[in-house]
Amino acid sequence: MTLPRTPSFSLTGKRALVTGATSGIGEACAVALAEAGAHVTLVARTADAVQKQVEAFQVQGWAATALPLDISDIAATEAAVADHGPFDILVNSAGLARHAPAVDTTESDYDTVTDLNVKAAYFLTRAVAKGLIAAGKSGSLINISSQMAHVGGIDRAVYCATKHALEGMTKSMAIEWGPHKIRVNTICPTFIRTPLGQQTLDIPERRAWIESKIKLGRVGEVEDIMGATTFLASDAAALITGTSLLIDGGWTAG
């Protein structure tokens, strides 16, 4: 009798590009990929910060390279991906939020959030895909979205709009690039205890609202994202594309 075997979660021999890689979810994703054997190119805007991160990885015996880059600079991003790629794996964790009541949203805040969360994500994902297509390689492209891509949130009209857009972009790209064996998915976390997330968690009434929505009764930790990242990047997820992996403690189930 021949029994099936679980596809490999190993990323040995793979090259990964991770943005927002010096803190929070991006850092955790980069660690997860490195632990699984990938050579990880760490991207952040600050050269000193990303170099220190590379040194910390190397101390652990992980393969890592620094790439200081502001992905909202589309031309620079496309050039960097072309020069340093092709990358088998992309995790785009760069993003920001400027929360405010919808009636108080400024045009400047709208443009800043949209330019990074949607426009930069679009052209970064496209650049990595173009490199894979030119090289005739398959790949796994992962955008860090949010549970707020599936629901609404207080003071989050702009942020929700960008994450809903990211979901539509992901599905369309997955359809177009499926014939090239390039998979495109999102990870959608709930509130995660990061320096950015802590700003909301430090407000008692918001913390109470959040915990009332999360059915498992706790906010997320960056470690909750790591296994999902490795899974989607690996051959274990070979038939998964155009979808969202919700890591929300049951928020959207209700």
Number of H helices, E strands in the chain: 9, 7
* Phi (first) and psi of residue 244, to 5 degrees: -120, 135
Are 17 and 33 within 8 A, CB to CB? no
Q: Any idea what the Cα angle at residue 82 is, between residues 80 and 87, rounded to 5°?
A: 95
Distances, alpha carbon 209 to alpha carbons 151, 167, 188, 204, 248, in Å: 14, 25, 19, 9, 14
User: With the C-alpha atoms ordered 114, 167, 125, 68, is the resulting torsion angle positive or negative?
Assistant: positive
Measured distance CA(115)–CA(106) in Å, rounded: 14
**Residue whose C-alpha is closest to residue 40's, from 241, 229, 180, 225:** 229
159 counts as catalytic: yes
Q: Compute the distance between CA of residue 135 and CA of residue 83 in angstroms, rounded to an integer.
A: 13
Catalytic residue among 57, 62, 159, 191: 159
Instruction: Give the dihedral sign, CA 229/125/245/166.
Output: positive
Q: What is the set of active-site residues?
A: 159
